[in-house]
Amino acid sequence: MPVFSYLAYPEQGAKEQLLKDLSELRYCEITTAQNEELLILLTDTPDEDSEKQLQKKLKALDSLQSLGMAFGHMDD
């Protein structure tokens, strides 16, 4: 049951689109910065397979420039 948090950087001018795209993904919680082009993405997947699927979907997002991991936890 992995939990990760990331700083999510949108492509230029795509912050709202990124918020929308991430909101549509399962297992994702998003918090937007009010005064910076930045979002916090928190993922809480039930197992490793779901995590891998989610990672693929994240990589496919056109509105996402990059993710910087801030926290990671996986149960033993």
Partner 1 sequence: MKLDRRSFIKLMAMNSAATAAATLFPGVSFGAWSTTEMASGGIVWKKTPCRFCGTGCSLLVGVSGDRAVAVKGDPNSTVNKGLCCVKGYHSIQILYGKDRIQKALVRKNGKMVEVPVAEALDLVARKMQETIQTHGKDAVAMYGSGQWSITDGYVASKLFKGCIGTNNVEANARLCMASAVTGCLTTFGLDEPMGCYEDIEKADVFVTWGNNMAEMHPVLFSRMLATRKNRTHVKIIDFATRTTRSSLAADRSILFRPQTDLAVANAICYEIIHNGWVNWDFVNKHASFHKGKTNIGYGTEDHFKFKDKAETVDFNAFKTFLDDYTPENVEKISGVPAKDIKYLAALYGDPDKKVTSFWTMGMNQHTRGTWINNLVYNIHLLTGKISSPGNSPFSLTGQPSACGTVREVGTLTHKLPHGVVMNPDHRKMAARIWDVPVENIDPKPTYHTVEMFRALDRGDIRFMWIQVTNPMVTMPNLRRYRDGAEKEGRFVVVSEIYPTPTSDIADVILPSALWIEREGFFGNSERRTQHNEQIVPMPGETVSNTWQIMEVARKMGFEKQFPWSEETYIEDIWNEYIQFHDSPKHRMAPFKVLKERSGVQWPYVNGMETKWRYNAKYDPACKQKDFDFYGKKDHRAWIWLRPYEPPAESPDSEYPFWLNTGRVLEHWHTGSMTRRVPILHKAMPESYVEINPDDAARMGITNGSDVKISSRRGSLVMKAAINGRGNPPRGMVFVPFFDEKYLINEVTLDAFCPISKQPDYKKCAVKLERA
> Segment 35-74, which members bind partner 1 (CB under 8 A)?
35-36, 38, 40-42, 44, 68, 70-71, 73
- Which residues, in sequence order, are bridge partners of residue 7? 40, 68
CA distance 26 to 22: 8
Binds partner 1 (CB under 8 A): choice among 16, 24, 29, 48: 29
| Cα–Cα nearest to 30, from 41, 20, 21 | 41
CA distance 10 to 62: 9
Binds partner 1 (CB under 8 A): choice among 33, 48, 52, 66: 33
Contact set with partner 1 (CB under 8 A): 1, 3-7, 29, 31-36, 38, 40-42, 44, 68, 70-71, 73
